[in-house]
Amino acid sequence: MPVRPIGLRERKKQRTRIQIIETALDLCDRHGFEATTIEEIAAAAQVAPRTVTRYFTTKEDIVLGPMHDYLAATVELLRERPRGGNDLLALRDAYATLLQRTADGDEVVDFDRVRQMQRIIHSSPSVRARCTEFGEIEADILAPVLADRMDTTPDDIAVRLLVATWRMVSQAAMDEWARHSPDQSAESCRQAVLETFEIFRSMINRPSRSAQ
């Protein structure tokens, strides 16, 4: 089925959304999340405050915009991957591919914005809290896609376990990268994701003492 081209109205909405996100990230990174108001974001983005609140429910959601965009791009790459294998690894590989493309210059989201977002997450308790809540949004988006790959339903325990595991391991990888990576590059982020998954795999494959 051919992809329907994006219309002028939709492109304008996308540009407005990106402008609001980038403006908010700049202001919140520079002045602090709590010190930055919706009105200041709107003025700097040259839109009305009601436009900002029409696009985003909360101020926290604005600065987490890159997270939503990376999730959407990861889902598209996951849809392209062959079925029938380990779906957790397929999800990992889709995300790693996205980061590789970013490192190669084919950016879905400007990675500088991801770095800004991570700094804001670690400096603002309310953004960290909202980031945790993002897991529910991620689950709602990933579960139907994974269920389709697994020929089951989104509420299947296997699907829910897979989503929860992905969320746990990928978040641990991002936290490790944000706290300890010296260059904060897309490539170092990709390596952090792959290394964290290998640590997880070695942990679950290691037999217990009673089984030895």
Tell me the per-residue pLDDT of 8-50, one tens digit each, with 9 for 90 and over.
Answer: 888 899 999 999 999 999 999 999 999 999 999 999 999 999 9
pLDDT of residue 9: 82
Query: Does any domain span residue 113?
Result: yes
Range of the domain at 146: 58-203
47-88: per-residue pLDDT in tens? 999 999 999 999 999 999 999 998 999 999 999 998 988 999
Q: Which residues contact 63 (CB under 8 A, 6 or more apart)?
A: 21, 24, 25, 28, 33, 116, 117, 120, 127
Read off the pTM: 0.83
Query: Does any domain span residue 159?
Result: yes
pLDDT of residue 183: 80
**CATH classification of the domain holding 159:** 1.10.357.10
Q: At residue 212, does pLDDT exceed 70?
A: no
Query: Does any domain span residue 6?
Result: no
